[in-house]
Structure 1
């Protein structure tokens, strides 16, 4: 039986209602590589519905499958208006704030933010929409939250997101040097190196650069989170 047929069978058993049953089925796939598009196709066949549709995520966009998958899994939902209603937009090219990446990575790691109690140490978090996610991040000693002067609305940087992903999943990051020409001595160099070795992140096409201090947009974050989930679910 092929990995895809196994995936199809488990999707029938675990119909994604609240999003994480799929991870259980995916864990039976072993290490067989599967593209986001193929997983999404089987997901849609098994559930009888298409993934959430965003007006600004076209089917021919490189990020379509990644955004659609993480939306189907309940990790992202797109923008809401002032009344709390979904606008149907994802904003793939928009920068991703620290608060938003905390939410996405903790959801990806299957952390229920409502179980995190107490008062956040981060001064901005007390009245911030991401309060519960900051609480959970502080409980797990997210390195990005050690600096209490960083605004939760500030764009997250590429190197930081690599570290946040490992912090969310409680992964031990081995010491290592990245092969990129612009990451030497960076605070998250070991995270970047490990993420690159696992296929979670990659450098710039045709270059040996990673741009660790550049911001991450919402499409790039969806791909990184998708890669991290599949890695987690298929590891032995």
Structure 2
């Protein structure tokens, strides 16, 4: 774990903790990679590398597909339909919660933190994941793709902050991508990067978060030390 300037976090000083979903709480990145490569093969598009896919995970799907395949807006909509059918109906790669993730959510909630989700998933995908993992009850707010502008635009975080009633400097954004860290900075929110998702510790550090951690359970050391 690497940490910048020392700050003591408590539910009083930083009452809101906002999580990305894919690659941060849920180990769904391998499934996304496989589904996007299958999409490319079936639609006769250049098959993207794992690294290229990692770089677009976290963005809203239309933005991600446009960057990955350089397709028009009309083509994006067609690809989205095919991708969702592959991801939901045919792809068999498991998507468990990361080890210790639910325990962290429970501990933070019990300590008095409010929890939220800011994700590039569409609303049906997030709600499906919540049903599969029985974790939706931990979160008091959420924003998804198509409801707001894509990361790293701050709209997603700004709307969550407004709904919960806190200021940017009173919230933390936990995410595995530079898109999460840039969004946090754009909204004036404290960013904490996790290295077990799509982007390396160095790439996350380059986005100037408060801290970079290697395990979700390290959040308890940061947020419950007091």
TM tier, smaller: under 0.3
Bigger Cα Rg: 1
* Higher strand proportion (structure 1 or 2): 2
Relative to the length of structure 1, the TM-score reads 0.25
